[in-house]
Copies of this chain bind each other. A is one copy, B any other.
């Protein structure tokens, strides 16, 4: 359990996963636009960590200019119930 906690720990981990849950495949720039306030650094860093935790997959189209997309891996999709439960809780929870 501690392991899962660590995997989703980080200011933007869940928000990123949420975006990839709402949109199956997202380009880096779009991901960034959809996460107001995130810095270039944290976006990349978190994406790298999520990737090495096998929760997301990075697809490099090898184009020029660069085009890279991210999506939930099969393992990552196992988190959907967590994401959904979190969203539900959030929705039923006025500040």
List the B residue with the shortest CB-CB distance to A82: B85
Assuming the contacts A89-B78, A89-B79, asked whether A15 and B2 have C-beta atoms less than 8 A apart, the reply is: yes
- A93–B6 Cα distance when bound, in Å, is 14
Size category, A interface:
20 to 34
Q: Which residues of B contact A89 (CB under 8 A)?
A: 4, 78-79, 81-82
Give the one of A9, A92, A95 with max B CB within 10 A. Answer: A9
Q: Which residues of B contact A14 (CB under 8 A)?
A: 1, 5
Q: CB within 8 Å of B: which of A39-59?
A: none
Q: Is A29 an interface residue (CB 8 A)?
A: no
A25 to chain B, nearest CB (A): 21
